[in-house]
Amino acid sequence: MIRSNLWNADNGDGTYINPILYADYSDPDAIRVGEDYFMIASSFCNVPGIPVLHSKDLVNWQVINYVLKKLPDSIYDKPVHGCGVWAPSIRYHEGVYYVCFPMPDEGIFMCTTTDPFGDWSEPVNIRPGAGWIDPCPFWDDDGKAYLVAGVAKSRIGYKSVLHMVRMQPDGMALIGDEVKIFDGNENDQVTIEGPKLYKRNGWYYIFAPAGGVKTGWQTVLRSKNIFGPYEYQVVMRQGETNVNGPHQGAWVDTVTGEDWFLHFQDVYAAGRIVHLQPVTWENDWPIIGAAKPGNDYGEPVGRYRKPNVGGITVDRIEPASSDDFAGKALNRAWQWNANPRDEWYDFCESGLTLHAIHREGAYSDVPNLLLQKWPAPEFECVAVLHLEQLTPGDEAGVISMGMQYGLIAFERLDDSIRVKRVLGKQKFGKIFVEQTEEESLVIAQVPAEMDTVYVKYRVKRNGTRDLNESEKGFPCEIVTFFYSFDGEEYHEALIMESVPGRWVGVKYGLFCISSALSSSGSVTVTEVRMERQITFELQED
C-alpha cells in the first residue's frame, strides 16, 4: 500500500492544528469506548455508506470500516444526489454499538454491532416515512431509551424544531408519540438541527447547531426533565477566527477526565472538514473552544495542546488516499456513486480492473464512478491507466465530481484512441436534479498502440470567493487535468473552478463506461498516487 503525508494535524510536539481532518467527513458524531474513539459521518448516496473512523488520541484518525454495504432501497442503484444517508449518530450501550441514521425520504434506521471493525447488522427502519432527520438515541440511568431528532423543511414543510420520543431499550422501535421539545422559530435559534443528547450532573443536554451550516454557531439546550422545558445558550461562535459556522458535532471525554468537541466547518468545494475543540464548564454550561474575557461562549482554536489520553503512544496517521491495489482490495478511501455491483470491478496481477458499463444519461449519473474525498486543501494525483483491453465504444478516465464537474476521457475507436474533455453542470430543483448540461470537446487522437496513459489531477488554491452577501471569503480551488503517454511530458487538458456536490465536497474519481449496451472491455489501473502541494498557510490562533 502506498503511504503519503497529505494532511496530518499532529505537530509531533504535543500540539495539533485544526482542522484535524481536511476532508469531507460531514456531520461527524463520535464516542469513546475505553481507550478507543470511533467517529462516523454522513455519506449521502455514496456507497459503502457511513464511514467509521478510529483514533486513540482524537487527532490521528483512520477509516476502519463502513456501516452499510449498500443503501436500503433499490432507488439507490443509480445516483440520487443529495439523498441517502444524512447526519448519523453513534452510541455504545451494554456491549453493543448503535448507529442511527436518517434517510430523509425513507425514514430513521438503526444498525448494530458488537465489533465496529467487523460486520454491522442490516438496517432496521424504526420510523418509516419522510421528514425526520439527524436522530440521536439515548439510554437513561433507569434503562429507558429515547430518541431526539430534527426535521427537514424540504420533506416536512417546516424546520428548526426538535422532537423527543421514547424508544425500545433494544433500539429497534419507537414507543408512543413524539413531543416537540424545542422550536427555534420562536427564538433566535432558526435552523437548529443535528441534536446530540447527553447527561451530566443530573442535567440532560442537547448539543445542536443553529443559524445555518456556513454562518451558524453551536447551541446547547439543557433541562432536568428529558421532555423539557429546555433553556439554551450559545456555546461557540466564529468570533474573530476564520472558522465560519462552527457546526454539528460530538462531545467526548478522555480517560483522564478532559472534555472535547469534534465539529465540522463548511469550506465549500472541499466540503465539511473536521475540527477538534477543548471544552470547559461554567455553572453547568459548556464553553467550546477558547473563551475570551467577557464572553460566555468560545471561539475555535487553531493550534492547541493534544488531548491527555493517559499516556498512550500514538503514531502519526491519516486516512488512506493513494492506492496501488496491491492487497487485491480497494482501500477505504473509495466509494461508488451508487449501490455497487460485483461485475463493475475485480483485480488482476497488475492492479484494479474496471469493467466498461453502459452509460445512460450524463456522466454525473454514471453509477460506477469510483470516487474519493479530497484529502487536503491542495494536492496532486497521478493515475496510471492501461487502455489495451478497451473495445470500440468504451472509454475510461478521471472525473472531478461536483454540481459542476469536469473529466478527461480516453475513448477507444476502431484503430485509435480519442482524447476528450467534458464539462458538466447539474441544476437542482427542490430535492432532485432537474437538468444536467454537458459540453464535450475532442482535444487529441492518437494511435491505439498508445495504450498506457498517465492522468494528473491538480488542486490548487486561487484566492477566495464570495457566495453571496453574507457568505464571503471561502477558498477558491482550481482543478487542472493533464495527460501523458510516457509519464514525462504532460499536456494540459482542462482547467476549471471547483464547485461542490449536493451537500458533499468535490470528489476525485475513476470510471470505465461504454456507449454499447454491453461490452467486454475494461481498463486496468495500476496506481493512484496522491501528493500534497502547499503554497499557503492556515490561520493559527
Q: What is the mean pLDDT of residues 92-109?
A: 98
In angstroms, the Cα distances linking 104 to 101, 122, 315, 325 are: 9, 18, 38, 35
pLDDT tier, 327 (very low <50, low <70, confident <90, very high otherwise): confident
Considering only CA atoms, which of 333, 457, 320 is closest in space to residue 8? Answer: 320
pLDDT tier, 536 (very low <50, low <70, confident <90, very high otherwise): very low
Helix/strand/coil percentages in the chain, nearest 5: 5, 50, 45
pLDDT of residue 166: 98
Percentage of residues of the chain with pLDDT beyond 90 = 95
pLDDT at residue 311 greater than cutoff 90: no
pLDDT at residue 422 greater than cutoff 60: yes
- Cα gap 174→178, rounded to integer Å: 9
pLDDT of residue 237: 97
For residue 447, whether the previous peptide bond is cis, meaning omega lies within 30 degrees of 0, is no
Please tell me which residue in 10, 27, 106, 394 is annotated as part of the active site: 27
pLDDT at residue 540 greater than cutoff 50: no
Q: Is 155 helix (H, G, I), strand (E, B) or coil?
A: helix
- Cα gap 18→262, rounded to integer Å: 11
pLDDT at residue 539 greater than cutoff 70: no
Count of alpha carbons within 13 angstroms of residue 19, beta-carbon side: 29
Out of 149-163, 283-297, 522-536, pick the least confident. 522-536
* pTM for the structure as a whole: 0.96
pLDDT of residue 534: 59
Q: What domains lie within the chain, and their CATH numbers?
A: 15-305 (2.115.10.20), 335-532 (2.60.120.200)
pLDDT of residue 345: 98
Output 487-495 pairs: Cβ under 8 A, ≥24 positions apart: 487/384, 487/454, 490/454, 490/456, 491/444, 493/408, 493/419, 493/421, 493/443, 494/406, 494/407, 494/408, 494/421, 494/423
pLDDT at residue 271 greater than cutoff 90: yes
For CA atoms 199, 202, 204, 210, the dihedral sign is negative
pLDDT at residue 169 greater than cutoff 80: yes
Q: What is the mean pLDDT of residues 494-506?
A: 97
In angstroms, the Cα distances linking 330 to 40, 56, 143, 398, 469 are: 20, 24, 41, 17, 43
pLDDT at residue 51 greater than cutoff 90: yes
Q: What is the mean pLDDT of residues 436-459?
A: 97
pLDDT at residue 421 greater than cutoff 70: yes
- At 200-259, the pLDDT tens digits run 999 999 999 999 999 999 999 999 999 999 999 999 999 999 999 998 999 999 999 999
DSSP code of 362? -
pLDDT at residue 302 greater than cutoff 70: yes
pLDDT of residue 532: 83
End-to-end CA distance of the chain: 36
Q: Identify the bridge partners of residue 128 per DSSP, sorted by sequence position.
A: 107
Please tell me which residue in 106, 193, 323, 394 is annotated as part of the active site: 193
294 burial type by CB count under 10 A (0-12 exposed, 13-18 middle, 19+ buried):
exposed
DSSP code of 225? S
pLDDT of residue 292: 87
Cβ–Cβ < 8 Å for 143, 157: no
Catalytic residue status for 27:
yes
pLDDT of residue 357: 97
